[in-house]
Structure 1
Amino acid sequence: MSTRFTMSLCFLSLETGKIFNKVIMQRLQEKGFEGLSEALIILFPYIDQAKKISSSELSRQVGYSRQAMHKNIKKLEELGYITLTLENQKEKMIAFTPKSEALMQEANGIIEAIENDLSELIGKEELEAYKNNQAKIYARLHSLL
């Protein structure tokens, strides 16, 4: 049996996501959004989707340990991307600041530009089919949890 490395669906999805995040992060830094890392950039879509989210829920969704999440939240707060508010006497809630709202707007423009580039590369229909298939794969894998 060969031990040759193969490009599995799992590996390709992981690597595509990592590269996509690196491109977004680099372009955001070029626009003046400083202090970001791959560990931090991953958090923005989750916070954006929830609007306000606890650190424990964010940690659960992202898959970070509580200690790692605490460190990342502290960094985002120091950089001015989030605020923390005590909502229920137990846990602080994370919310965006105007700086992170501007970051998300810029990131969405970057994502749109990348999608347009990919659409030119493989065709609009192929890109839409890819996105639809990725959504189906995600839903199926999520149902296995």
Structure 2
Amino acid sequence: MSFCFSALRSSTIFNRIILAAVDREGFTELTPALLGIFAHLAEAEPMSVSALAGALGSTRQAAHKHVGKLAVSGYIELQTRPDNRKEKVVVLTPRGEALVGVALDVIARTESKMSAYLGTAAFETFMRNQEALLHFLEDLERGEYGNDRRG
């Protein structure tokens, strides 16, 4: 199995594990596409829908559609940016923050189980290699092939 297919399949399964867990906690009406939005909002400053679309690699139209669904469900809201009254940014509501908390707990528990399954040293090596490959692919996407950032 290729790296690409294996990574995609692993990500899909991991997302299903997270979705099942958050659904059991009452965070419903979510899909893998919607779940990806939370990862970006939890790790970044509030951002516009356009910036969120760029981070997700989707169109602005798709991002607006997803943001609308999440706003109706009470997970996020659009707020006026304090330094630019014309721009709206996407922010997590308390319900969205609670969802992120549950998801992060599921991620931590799953990674702990993965570590136990592989062994701590092997899991730590896997995580370092995963990070290195991510940086490599980001460099490759920018046309900076071969820029070794492993140090």
Match of 1:137 in 2: 133
**Matching residue's letter, 2:97:** E
TM-score computed with the length of structure 2 as normaliser? 0.88
For residue 51 of structure 1, report the CA deviation from its aligned partner. Answer: 3.2
User: Quick one: distance in 1 between partners of 2:36 and 2:99?
Assistant: 13
User: Quick one: distance in 1 between partners of 2:79 and 2:119?
Assistant: 45
Match of 1:124 in 2: 120
Match of 2:55 among 52, 61, 86: 61
SS of equivalent to 1:34: coil
Match of 1:112 in 2: 108
Is the Cα–Cα contact under 8 Å of residues 52 and 93 in structure 1 kept in the other structure?
yes
Q: CA RMSD in A?
A: 1.0
Alignment of 1:46-57 (within 5 A): 46-57=40-51
Match of 1:26 in 2: 20
Deviations 1:4-54 (A, max 9, x none): xxx101111111111111110111001111111111001101011113111
TM-score computed with the length of structure 1 as normaliser? 0.92
Match of 1:39 in 2: 33
Unaligned 5+ residue runs, structure 1? 1-6
**2:73 aligned with 1:79:** yes
User: Quick one: distance in 2 between partners of 1:98 and 1:64?
Assistant: 26
Unaligned 5+ residue runs, structure 2? 143-151
**Matching residue's letter, 2:136:** R
Question: What percentage of aligned pairs have identical amino acids?
Answer: 36
Is the Cα–Cα contact under 8 Å of residues 51 and 96 in structure 1 kept in the other structure?
no
SS of equivalent to 1:86: strand
User: Quick one: distance in 2 between partners of 1:26 and 1:53?
Assistant: 27
Match of 1:96 among 89, 92, 99: 92
**Matching residue's letter, 1:69:** A
Q: Post-superposition, which runs of at least 4 consecutive aligned residues in structure 1 deviate over 3 A?
A: none
